[in-house]
Amino acid sequence: MDILPHDLQTYLDDHCDAEPKALQNINRETYLKVLRPHMLSGHYQGRVLSFLSKLIQPKLILEIGTFTGYATICLAEGLVEDGIIHTIEVNRELEEMLNSHFESTNVGKKIKLHFGQAEQIIGEMPYTGFDLVFIDADKKNNYNYFQLIFEKVRSGGLIIIDNVLWKGKVYGEENDADTQVIRKLNDLVAADERVEKLILPVRDGLLVIRKK
């Protein structure tokens, strides 16, 4: 099911900034060549991520779950001149496509791609003071990632978690294992007094968290 009616989503797409040409090409190639292409952020959510990034003008971003790089590029659009985004992807088979996608943009030099298990890579990273973190990987580990990176995020920094409405299942009667995991994540973050938080009904739901 769609979170928003199709006509409303189309209207929103038509009344935000146009999708950059490079991202149009990535969108098209993802749907042609990659399994589960619906995992791609897409035009409207991409503009939301870009907008949030530009508002805080980050110097250091972490992304967990690169997929084909669409959201990575959107987030990188807000980086300051010497900023960098570290993005972690578990599927090494996407390496050639990702490098091609990043090279097709004007932010490619600001992107550092890591392959492997996110927990290990984050644990080995020497960086602290992340301005923005975007979590869009295996959903069962979302809260683990949140806890793992929390102390690495500066006060006032943003943590954004994707797919928190789970096609509407979290506020319905469904009780499958995946839905329970995401519902628990939302409840735990809602009760966390260290942060300010709200869920944006963008695409499949973005949980935007500001560290106090």
Q: What is the pLDDT of residues 166-188, one digit of tens each?
A: 999 999 999 999 999 999 999 99
Q: Among residues 141, 164, 162, 202, which one has the least CA distance to residue 72?
A: 162
Residue 86 burial (10 A CB sphere; 0-12, 13-18, 19+): buried
Residue 6 burial (10 A CB sphere; 0-12, 13-18, 19+): exposed
What lies within 8 Å, CB to CB, of 147 at 6+ separation is none
pTM of structure: 0.96
- Average pLDDT of the chain is 96
Secondary structure E strands in 92-204:
111-115, 130-135, 153-162, 195-200
Residue 9 burial (10 A CB sphere; 0-12, 13-18, 19+): middle
pLDDT value of position 4:
82
3: confidence class by pLDDT, cuts 50, 70, 90: confident
What is the per-residue pLDDT across 112-141, written as a single tens digit (0 to 9) for each?
999 999 999 999 999 999 999 999 999 999
Residue percentage of the chain with pLDDT more than 70: 99
pLDDT value of position 5:
87
Determine contact, residues 199/207, Cβ cutoff 8 Å.
yes
pLDDT value of position 2:
60
pLDDT above 60 for 149:
yes
Domain ranges of the chain: 6-211
pLDDT above 70 for 57:
yes
| The token pair that represents 75 in the structure block | 């987030």
Q: What's the fold here for domain 6-211?
A: Rossmann fold (3.40.50)
Determine contact, residues 157/127, Cβ cutoff 8 Å.
no
| The token pair that represents 108 in the structure block | 């490619």
